[in-house]
Amino acid sequence: MIDDFVEQHQLLGSTVPRIINEYVATLATRRVTPEATPADLEKLFAEPLPEKGISIEEILTRFRGDIAPNTMAVPSPRYFGQFNPTPLPIGVWADALISMLNQNGGAWRNGPTSAMIEARVIRWLCELLSYGPTSSGTLASGGSEANLIALKCARDRVAAGIKDRGVRTAPGDLVVYASEQCHYSIDKSADILGLGREALRKIPTDDRFHISLGALQDAIRHDREAGLVPFCVVGVAGTTSMGVIDSLEPLAAIARENNCWYHVDAAYGGPLAFSPKHKEKLRGIELADSITFDPHKWMFVPFSCAATLMREGPGVLRDAFDMSPEYLSEDRGGADVEFDFFRYGQMGTRRFNSLKLWMALKFMGREGYAKAVERQIDLTNYLARQIDSLPDFERVGEVETAVCCFRLMPETDGLQQRLQQIIERSGEAWLTTTVVKNRRVLRVNINSFLTDQHHIDDLVKLLVRSAEAAKRHK
């Protein structure tokens, strides 16, 4: 099967681009949501473990017939779902090049350019967020892992022996603080780090859905009086539900006054820094001890590509993660050790993901990203104005990024869900619902550079049409 290695590449190289070109050329008219049910798909793929291989042509026929048509059309201009972008063409094809080279960027010796380019893109991201020249970081699989890495560094700062002897060496039970709107990976991190999910204090938000600074200060004071050890404050720059940005500068002061690590989860909102018009919204981010930033969200890099950035530099990550396993510990004179990324996080083998970020940044440049971010925020404001003009709809919160939330009146949770389901079944667009302050709302995120004003007009018409149906089917 593999004695015709070059020919296989030639065959795939002439066929796969045609499939990709056909797919992207039909995005404008393609259903966004597939019609198949879980049972349909289960049946479609209920096959025994293959005994004999089949041809590349047959495999690609299955891809075209069974796989591609049953996917969510995430790259569609009418996908208004989670923070999942239309991937840049340069990123899509970078992924093929990454797989061809199959570098293992964990250790410099094993993937020299991979490690070096990872160091370079991390430097660029640090620069973008106004971190100083000694700052550093590591790529991660996603915002969830990036948050975990940051919180591990925060935890390890509490007591010298915590990495080896666990949280029992801390002077008391540790507590981390974040807005009630924080991403669930913060809860999971508290558990994985041995603190328990109850160690996360979810602080109420104000009427603009930003963490309430007064409530945060009260919670820290209260915990201290109870003998607990506040150790980390998390600010969010682009909350998962509403896309809003906590007051990052005052949060830094509260963290500092209370001797807490300050982490900013900018998984989604980080790219605001590209825009001279919007970067002010991130004021204070550079004061954070660590930052999560996901290029696979608002930088249109295909999954997966995330980063944890550290203000104080690589030493913090090494203190938390470094080991010298036998098979990676030959004496190499030391100069390359700082480019051994396995020392900076949990990942061992790592893809050359820095390449697609490097190519994306080279292609778009600061200006290209600024334009894309600004345009998507403008389109979101345009949608917000349309929603405001509809008598049956009520907007929830302000537009701070490219997220707009709203409700169909009367504001029952069931009605929002029915409307979402009607739109989902139509295949004409996809949006989600979420819960804010215990009430369900509809949520639109514009994360495709293909989305234009006419797509928003169509979405508004679809909402109005579907609203009537949702009300009829009470």
Residue ranges in contact with ligand PLP by CB under 6 A: 82-83, 142-144, 147, 183, 185, 236, 238, 240, 265, 267-268, 294, 306
- Of 147 and 376, the one with the shorter C-beta distance to ligand PLP is 147
Q: Which is nearer to ligand PLP, 170 or 347 (CB)?
A: 347
Pick 271 or 408: Cβ nearer ligand PLP: 271
Neighbours of 84 (CB within 10 A): 17
C-beta of 267 vs 404, nearer to ligand PLP: 267
Closest approach of Cβ 235 to ligand PLP, in Å? Answer: 11
Would you say 15 or 82 has its CB closer to ligand PLP? 82
* Kind and range of the H or E run holding 174: strand 174-179
- Is 152 or 183 the residue whose CB approaches ligand PLP more closely? 183
C-beta of 4: minimal distance to ligand PLP in Å?
A: 38
Q: At closest approach, how far in Å is the CB of 149 from ligand PLP?
A: 12
Contact call for residues 449 and 86 (beta carbons, < 8 A): yes
Handedness of CA 278, 282, 284, 286 (dihedral sign): negative
Longest dimension (CA), the chain: 74
Q: Rounded to the nearest whole angstrom, what is the least distance from the CB of residue 144 to ligand PLP in the complex?
A: 3
86, two tokens: 């239309």
Residue 433 burial class via C-beta count within 10 angstroms: exposed 0-12, middle 13-18, buried 19 and up: middle
Identify which of residues 187 and 265 has a Cβ nearer to ligand PLP in the complex.
Answer: 265
Shortest separation between residue 243's beta carbon and ligand PLP, angstroms: 9
Give the list of residues 6+ apart from residue 406 with CB closer than 8 angstroms, or none.
Answer: 387, 393, 394, 395, 396, 441, 442, 444
Q: Please, what is the minimum distance in Å from the beta carbon of residue 365 to ligand PLP?
A: 24
Residue 237: CB minimum distance to ligand PLP, A:
8
Kindly give the pairing relationship between strand 439-445 and strand 432-436: antiparallel
What residue is closest to ligand PLP based on CB?
143
Measured from the CB atom, the residue of 239 and 258 that comes closer to ligand PLP is 239
- Beta pairing, strands 229-236 & 261-265: parallel
Q: For residue 371, count other CB atoms closer than 10 A to its CB.
A: 15
Q: How far is the CB of 187 from ligand PLP (least distance, A)?
A: 12
Q: Which is nearer to ligand PLP, 118 or 246 (CB)?
A: 246
Q: Which two tokens stand for residue 318?
A: 């090494």
Q: Which is nearer to ligand PLP, 386 or 420 (CB)?
A: 420
* Residue in 325, 348, 175 with CA at minimum distance from that of residue 255: 175
> In this structure, what token pair is assigned to residue 259?
């001797």
Q: Using alpha carbons, select from 32, 121, 31, 149 the residue that is nearest to residue 80.
A: 32
- Tokens 């997220």 belong to residue: 403
Strand runs labelled E in 371-466? 393-396, 403-408, 432-436, 439-445
Characterise 227 by phi-psi region: left (phi > 0), alpha (psi -120 to 50), beta (else): left
Tell me the closest approach of the beta carbon of residue 241 to ligand PLP, in angstroms: 8
The answer to whether residues 179 and 206 touch, using CB atoms and an 8 Å cutoff, is no
CA distance 434 to 413: 10
- Minimum Å distance from CB 240 to ligand PLP? 4
Give the pairing type, strands 229-236 and 174-179.
Answer: parallel
